[in-house]
Structure 1
Amino acid sequence: MQQTILQAADLILDAQGLIVLTGAGMGADSGIPTYRGVDGSWGKIQGELQMPIEMVMNPAFVQANLGVMWDRFIRRIHSFQMITPHKGFDVLNHIGTQIFQDNYFHITSNIDGQLQKAGVSSAQILEIHGNIHYLQCTTPCQTNTWPVTAAMLDAVPWQIPTCPHCGAFTRPNVLLFQDNTFVRARVKNQQAVFEQFKAARWSQSFVLLEIGAGVQVKAIRLFSARLAQQLKAPLIRINPYDSLVENPRHVSIALPALEALQALAEHIKT
């Protein structure tokens, strides 16, 4: 493992640009549940809804159970606000800002806003599944999104915020299961910024750092694979399970996010 860590550190130090891609496993060391066990099966919603998560977190169920689900969303947002990002976020921030500066971008499928909370600039983040701290119309009548406010969180559970345009109820601007009503405007804007980032640095050598991305929801792994091919970049995959890589240029680190990042930090001095 030590040799693998050294190899990964060398790839980072030899690169001109860094793209970090994170899945649910990145937040596990902060205490954020992934809802998936070692066997990869989806877990059940804790508390009052003992149902598989994919049966609950979809637009049809949310629309039919708005009061219960809005109460759940509020509690989830509160819990994210209370969580302190683990020290691995500091390692990423340090590597990104000190070594790569403007040549650093972060892509995540996480909806928790922990990257911003850890100090990553919003201008360097692409949240492919949205962000729970933003709302959208449930219809949706328009492509607008807007931030969750403290007043919304302090309201009684059944006082569901309504769309300022049509008066319909709102929901978090996050991609649910079987979701054909997700408003993608905010994500598309972030995607456009990322495309500009790549275009301005096309001739540079990049390294990809993929952390906590599993094989059940493959969005981040597929994104990593496309970027590795497109940029001809080596990939460092950090994941305690299913971490194997086939390309000999790539590196696999079979550790949790925090442990792996702290080990990398020991060999990356700035």
Structure 2
Amino acid sequence: MAERGFVTLAFDPSYTGESGGEPRNVASPDINTEDFSAAVDYLGLQASVDRKRIGALGICGFSGMALTAATSDSRISAVATVSMYDMSRSISRSHQDSYTQEQRRQVIDYISQQRWADAENGNYSPGFHEVPFDEKGNIVKGQRILPESLPGNPDPVLAAFFDYYKTPRGFHPRGINSTTAWTATTPMSFFSFSMYANIEMISPRPILLVAGENAHSRYYSEDVHKMASEPKELVIVPGADHVDLYDQMDKIPFNKLTEFFAKNLK
């Protein structure tokens, strides 16, 4: 986007990657929504930036926070998402809302008791951001680290993430999903924070939702598109999966993103 003429600020969410904050590798819907407003603060202090022409572009889980930030921060004049995840929905209900009510209670009890363990141990245990269950219906505890090699006939979602995070394509020795994990108690705040509760407040500012045709996350963008008020647009990229839109330059619709922001930040 910088190469296309936009003053562009890229940042890692608080407590992750190159951003500061302790404890490391914890996500929070409230804090990570605030990250986008903090980025707007910073941009608006730059002499080269027109405060009335600031947009937000989010990718994967943190694109949901970009949308949520726009519901309460009118300084965001236009917002676009790519491969969007609703992390509150994903963490509290699992993929395709597959948790049963009883499983949701089990997850809440697990992370609640984990807080005692962390408090007693004086450190944060690693864990899954979306707590899985095994074939017997028991919670799987442990680190959210992808296997070093794929099993035979792997789940397509696992295969896609493996191809990104565990290969030179997207691997980083300090990257969550590459070698490190979220804190085990990260899910708690997401059970308490429903994103998009006020999504109609983004209007009349425009929303652009971009998702891959074959993305397992596609339904998040489609559902938000149904919920949001006009103006809004949903773009489905033919032949793309979820992670293709992280880095595959021939599939990311840069022309569409450029057109969207050029039109709506004029």
Q: TM tier, shorter chain?
A: 0.3 to 0.5
Q: Write 1 or 2 for the structure with the bigger share of strand.
A: 1
TM-score where L is the length of structure 1: 0.33
Higher relative contact order (CA 8 A, sep 6+): 1
TM-score where L is the length of structure 2: 0.33
